Amino acid sequence: MLYGKPQNYSWYRARVVLYIRVSTDEQARHGYSLGAQREALREFCDTFQCQIVAEYSDDGVSARKEIQRRPGLLRVLEAVKAGGVDYVLFIKLDRWFRSVREYYRVQDVLDAAGTNWKAILEDYDTSTTNGRLNLNIRLSVAQDESDRTADRIKFVFSERVKNGGAIFGSKSLPYGLEVRDHRVQIMEDQAVIVRAFFDHYEAAHSTRSTQAWLRDQCGVDLPRNAIGRMLRNGLYCGQYRDNKNYCPAIISPDQFQRVQEILARQASGHTRQSKYSYVFTGLLRCPVCGCTLKAFPQFDHKLNRLYLRYRCTQHWIEKRCSWKTTPWEPRLEGWLLDHIQPQLDAYIAQFDVQEAQRRQAVVDVGAIQRKLSRLQDLYVDGVIDRAAYDEKYRALIQQQDAAEAARAAQRAERDLDPLRQLLAGDFRSIYATLSPQERHTLWASVIDRIVVKDGRYGHFDLDVIFLS
C-alpha cells in the first residue's frame, strides 16, 4: 500500500473533490505532471474507498496567482458551496497555495461549508494550536521559496539577456523575428516589410496611414495599437533591456531613434520641424502602389522660383512603381478649394451626430471594473453562487467592452471648431490667410488620405477619404 495507516479515518469513504495544479516550470523540474498527480490521488481514493465527486485542474498556473486567476480552484469552491463534499484532496500543500493571504480566503469558504482538505503526501493537523502554527510556518516557507525562485528566475533571465540568449518563444516576438538556436534571429522575407514599414511611418508621421499601407500593400492587417507597439519595439534595432546588441537589427538604431522622436512629438501634440511647411504631408497616396507621397522642394533656377511637390518614393527611389508624376502643391490646393466644401459640410453634420451618440454610450470603465472586483469578492465569500456570478460577470464584461469601444471611438483630440468657423464664413478667403502649417492641421483633422488619381499636365482628380 502506498499510504501508511492514518491517524484517523475521517476521509475513509468520504466524498471528495480532487484538485490538480501544475505550472510549466514545476512540471519540468519535479515531474508533478497532471497525469502523475491524478494517478496518485485516484490510488489514494481506491485505498480509502473515497467517492470522487468531481475533479478540477489548473494547468500552467502558479500557486501564487490570485483566486480569480485559477479557474480550476474556482470550480472547486463552486462544488464545495453546492454541498456534499467532505474533503478537497491534493498531493501536497504547495499544489494548493503558496500565498498565506489567499489560503485563508479559501479556508473561510471551506469552513462555512464544513469541508476539510488533505494533502495526501503530507501530514497536517489543523485541529490543534501547534498544528495550525505548523501550517502557517509551512505556508510562509512555501511563499518565501516561491519568492526566492522568482528572484532566481529573474537573475537567470537577466544573465541570458546579457549574453544574447532568447528568453521567450517565437510566438512572443514581433513580426519579422523568430527564435533559432536559442537566439533571436531575423526572418528575411518579413524583415523587408518591417523596413518598409518604418520607412513609411518616418515619411508619413501617421500610424493610421501606416496601418492602411500595411493592410493594402503587404496584406498584414494589424490593429492600430499594434502599430504603435511595433514602432516602439527596440528588438527591431537589436536592443532589449540593457543589451544594445541583443539580436541582429532589422533597422538602424538611428532610424529607430528618429521614429521614437516622431512618436514623442505626436504624443505631446507637436509636429515635426522642417525647413519647409508642406500642406499635405502624410495625406497623399499614389494611385498605382498606394504608398504615401513624400514632399520635396524643387527650385527652378531659370525662373528663380521654389516649387513644393510630392512624389512616389516607390518609383523615384525604390524603382518599384510606374507612377512618376510629381504634383505641385498649389494645384492640389486649388482642386480641394473648388470641390471640397459641400463634402466638408456633410462631414461636420455627420460628425456632430456621431459624437453625441458616443457621449451617450460612454460608461465609466473604472466603475465597471470596481463592480467586477466586488462581484468576485461576493462569489468567494459565498454570498452568491456560480450561476449568479457567471450571469453578472458576462453582463459586466459586455458593458465594459462596449464602454471601451465607445471611449476608443471618441475623437476628443479632434477639434473641429476652427473648421466650423471657416465653413460659416468665406471659406476660400479665410483659407488664404492661414499659414501652410495651419492648412496642414486643418486638412489632417478631417481627412484620412487623398488618392491622386491623375496629375498629368496639371489636371487632377482626387479621391478624398475622410476620417471615420
Q: pLDDT value at position 35? A: 85
pLDDT grade, residue 424 (50/70/90)? confident
The DSSP element (H or E) to which 348 belongs, if any, is helix 341-361
Strand-pairing partners, residue 308, are 297
Question: Quick one: pLDDT at residue 291?
Answer: 87
> Tell me, what's the pLDDT at 271?
47
The pLDDT of residue 46: 92
Q: At what angle do helices 100-113 and 71-82 cross, to 10 degrees?
A: 20
Residue among 28, 16, 27, 157 nearest 95 (CA)? 27
93-113 burial, b for 16+ CB within 10 Å, e for fewer? bbbbbbbeebbebbeebbeeb
Q: Is pLDDT at 63 greater than 50 in this prediction? A: no
> Residue 456: its pLDDT value, please?
57
> What is the rounded distance in angstroms from the CA atom of residue 322 to the CA atom of residue 286?
10
**Range scoring the smallest mean pLDDT among 126-130, 143-147, 358-362:** 358-362
What pLDDT does residue 272 have?
47
Res 160: pLDDT: 72
Closest of 239, 257, 238, 234 to residue 249, by C-alpha: 238
pLDDT for the residue numbered 25 = 53
Sequence-ordered list of residues with C-beta below 8 angstroms from that of 226, at least 6 positions apart, any chain = none
Write down the pLDDT at residue 210: 83
DSSP code at position 246:
S
What's phi and psi for 374, nearest 5 deg? -65, -40
What pLDDT does residue 50 have?
93
Mean pLDDT of 214-232: 84
**In the predicted model, what is the mean pLDDT of the chain?**
78
3-state secondary structure of 179: strand
Cα–Cα distance between 146 and 98 in angstroms, integer?
Answer: 7
Higher confidence at residue 27 or residue 448?
Answer: 448
Residue 262: predicted pLDDT: 86
Cell of 129: 494550536
What band does 44 get if pLDDT is binned at 50, 70 and 90? very high
pLDDT tens for each residue of 232-279: 998 899 888 788 888 989 999 999 999 998 888 777 654 445 567 888
Element holding 141 (H helix, E strand) = helix 129-162
**154 vs 263, residue with greater confidence:** 263
Q: Are 37 and 20 in contact (CB under 8 A)?
A: yes
Q: Which segment of 8-17, 188-197, 259-268, 404-413 scores lowest on mean pLDDT? A: 404-413
- Choose the most confident range, by mean pLDDT, from 5-9, 73-77, 206-210: 73-77
Reported confidence tier of residue 28, pLDDT bands at 50, 70, 90: very low
Does the pLDDT of residue 132 top 50, yes or no? yes
- Over residues 90-99, the mean pLDDT reads 78
- Who wins on pLDDT, 319 or 411? 319
Highest-scoring range by mean pLDDT, 151-160, 307-316, 382-391: 307-316
Q: Which of 179-188, 194-203, 289-298, 372-381 is least confident?
A: 372-381
* Percent of the chain residues topping a pLDDT of 70: 75
